[in-house]
Structure 1
Amino acid sequence: MYKIAFDVMGADNGSEVAVQSASEFLKSRKELYLVLVGDKKEIEESLRKFPIDENRFEIFETSEFIDMNGSIMDIRRKKDSSMVRALEMLKDKKVDAMITGGNSAAFIAGSHFILGELNGITRPGFMPTLPTAVDNKLTLLLDVGANLEADIEDIIGYAKMANIYSKNVLKVENPSVAQLNIGEEKSKGTLLQKEIYKELEADKNINFYGNLEARDILAGKVDIIVTDGYTGNMCLKAFEGASKILMTEIKAQLYKTIFTKLKALTLKKSFDNVSKKFDYKNHSGAILLGVDGIAFKAHGSSDVKSFKATLRMTCEAIENDVLNKIKKEIK
């Protein structure tokens, strides 16, 4: 049995949604034990609605939490916050991983000061898993916001760590790695992108695809896409926003008149499959690669489906011993 510390306090929708997701997810994972970190009274109230077997969890009480309006300074100011305590449990190896839906900047700062980086890594990267147009194929994109800037060493580190994750968690035999750029040609991009291209191309341990344009992120052409956090975050948010708006607009058009409603019934299964495939909530959450611990960040706006997806991804990282394999490779 393995343990996950779950900070249930910091997300937008309150602790009840997080506790509900824990209650539902534990039913499918017999080997999992959760430490619910946060306000004991709130957690106990939620547990009355969404009970959990007393042998499958415990409550770690804290007097504070860091919400989405917090700052990196709260890591120092709020030492008894649920996020800080969850990170400390991971640092002290009392748990195998931790999850939070709280403030991203505070989470990154806390991971730096409490967990520390792996040898050879100076800037960790957020790495979500994205659906693609190719059936049963997922793409890893990093960094998506842990650091706004990245140098050559950072990008090479991202490629190496994501390569290990893809092989062990997604079971891709020889993952292809692309650099996100404004064109596919080798000559495209700034001087930094051109230098990164040369380094990735020369690395015999990386199956380098070349440059990839943003319009092909979801095409399924590659397994891993590397970029700086500023660019990656904008691409991720654009995908999530476009996906949500597109599905909403399709639904509105299909149910516009009685005639379109009748036609929609014949296509319902097909539209449901597409909606499910590209619903980012089914792949919600991002691991912070490069810190000394398995630490996942859930969306601040996470609902039950999103939290359950993050819990699943965290379990997969633990089960496949991702952290130790990355340590070995980076070393």
Structure 2
Amino acid sequence: MNSQPVRIAIDATGGDYAPAEVVAGAIRAKEELGVEVLLVGDPEQIKASVSQSDLLRQIEIVPAEGTIEMHEEPLSALRRKPNASINVSMDLVKQGRADGVVSAGHSGAAMAAALLRLGRIKGIVRPAIGAVFPTVIAGKPVLVLDVGANVDCRPKYLEQFAVMGSVYSRYVLGTESPRVGLLNIGEEKSKGNEVAVQVYKTLAARESINFVGNAEGRDVLSGDFDVIVCDGFVGNVLLKFAEAVGESVLQILREELPQGIAGKVGCTLLKGNLKRIKQRVDHAEHGGGLLLGVAGIAVISHGSSRAPSIFNAIRLAKDAVDNQVLDRIKGQYHKVAATAQGE
């Protein structure tokens, strides 16, 4: 465990509601989580986003020049803008001035910046974004990866995702023997495309991973799996669909609860239940996904993140630091998945 407060670099100008919502979430994280936050971006924009200037007195602002826009091609934009907020944020981790990065900006740029600035863990071919989904079993989430870092995947990518996901689920989520599943169109080992069939055979033969077979779409939230592996194209669609389902459930609850005095009384009686429902289905409660496989802690949050989601993204980064997830993956990856390196 870290004896010093965890220091998180925040890409303050990345995201649809930056910098105001990003800064608000960072300030809350400092107050409630005890983390040190470094706000990276244009100092004037950051200061102008806070109505009470005294809130920024104990927060360090690290100057940066511009941000990577959503329409820009990540690699060329990162080279064109070496002092962009996401580049500066990653440099802070590389220099040891921060323990992790949180960004709600261009996800492709965040991944590319992490690879260029921090590099990959030795043996990892491609990093993956791991997102935690709620399941029908309270307190038993499922880790899905990749949810957007790699649109096209070779078999060895998916094999390594299974290893990293299993390590993360065990040491951070507390699952003793994570049950790993491969997202597919059927339970049978012969189902799916050539990549899926090949990955199934490889994972089934690897005794160090608790591979339990294919997971269909209906199984994702069942609680029967602890880790589900898929390519970033399917995973991103799944992530955004799950977010929409959560938002729909909350909206339906608002519409269907009784109105007037009866509604107020009912809501008062159900306040605790409704709060727990929101915590389980609202994507803002999860904050984003951890980029697994790079040599540093990086959390990629939703572009539409507001203050609560930024707060939870910072909490996710802090948990990853506190639980030494980077060292765990470095050590355990080589221990349990030597055959998955450089195949």
TM-score range, shorter chain: over 0.9
Tell me which residue corresponds to 1:139.
142
Corresponding residue SS for 1:43: helix
Task: Map 1:152-163; keep pairs closer than 5 Å.
Answer: 152-163=155-166
Contact 1:179-1:211 at 8 Å conserved across structures: yes
1:40, 1:259 → 2: CA distance? 48
User: In structure 2, what residue type is equivalent to 1:308?
Assistant: F
Q: Does residue 1:15 correspond to 2:28, yes or no?
A: no
User: In structure 2, what residue type is equivalent to 1:39?
Assistant: D
2:53, 2:285 → 1: CA distance? 21
Contact 2:247-2:281 at 8 Å conserved across structures: no
Contact 1:23-1:50 at 8 Å conserved across structures: no
User: In structure 1, what residue type is equivalent to 2:142?
Assistant: T
User: In structure 1, what residue type is equivalent to 2:117?
Assistant: I
Contact 1:12-1:68 at 8 Å conserved across structures: no
Task: Map 1:109-128; keep pairs closer than 5 Å.
Answer: 109-128=112-131
**Equivalent of 2:60, from 52, 58, 61?**
58
2:223, 2:50 → 1: CA distance? 41
Tell me which residue corresponds to 2:323.
320
1:21, 1:263 → 2: CA distance? 32
Query: What TM-score, normalized to structure 1?
Result: 0.93
Q: Unpaired runs of 5+ in structure 1? A: none
**Equivalent of 1:306, from 301, 309, 314?**
309
Q: 1:175–1:51: structure 2 CA closer, same or farther, 3 Å change rule?
A: farther
Give how far 1:131 is off.
1.0
Q: 1:247–1:327: structure 2 CA closer, same or farther, 3 Å change rule?
A: same
Contact 1:91-1:115 at 8 Å conserved across structures: yes
Query: What TM-score, normalized to structure 2?
Result: 0.90
Which shifted more, 75-84 or 112-121? 112-121
Tell me which residue corresponds to 2:253.
250
2:262, 2:283 → 1: CA distance? 27
Q: 1:209–1:50: structure 2 CA closer, same or farther, 3 Å change rule?
A: farther
Q: Does residue 1:181 correspond to 2:184, yes or no?
A: yes
Contact 1:11-1:67 at 8 Å conserved across structures: no
2:88, 2:170 → 1: CA distance? 32
Contact 2:33-2:315 at 8 Å conserved across structures: no
Query: Alignment length, in residue pairs?
Result: 328
- Which deviations, in whole Å up to 9, do the C-alpha atoms of 1:234-256 show, x marking residues without a partner? 1111111122123213322335x
2:132, 2:15 → 1: CA distance? 20
Cα RMSD of the aligned pairs, angstroms, is 2.0
2:40, 2:270 → 1: CA distance? 44
1:321, 1:88 → 2: CA distance? 20
Corresponding residue SS for 1:28: helix
Q: 1:279–1:76: structure 2 CA closer, same or farther, 3 Å change rule?
A: same
Tell me which residue corresponds to 1:70.
72
Tell me which residue corresponds to 1:282.
285
Tell me which residue corresponds to 1:225.
228
- Which deviations, in whole Å up to 9, do the C-alpha atoms of 1:71-96 show, x marking residues without a partner? 31211111111111011122222211
Q: Does residue 1:168 correspond to 2:171, yes or no?
A: yes
Give how far 1:269 is off.
4.5
Contact 2:47-2:56 at 8 Å conserved across structures: no
1:161, 1:310 → 2: CA distance? 20
Tell me which residue corresponds to 2:202.
199
User: In structure 2, what residue type is equivalent to 1:59?
Assistant: I
Give how far 1:259 is off.
9.5
User: In structure 2, what residue type is equivalent to 1:38?
Assistant: G
Q: 1:206–1:264: structure 2 CA closer, same or farther, 3 Å change rule?
A: same
Give how far 1:260 is off.
7.9
Q: Unpaired runs of 5+ in structure 2? A: 335-343
1:270, 1:91 → 2: CA distance? 43
Corresponding residue SS for 2:32: coil
1:143, 1:38 → 2: CA distance? 29
Which shifted more, 224-233 or 57-66? 57-66
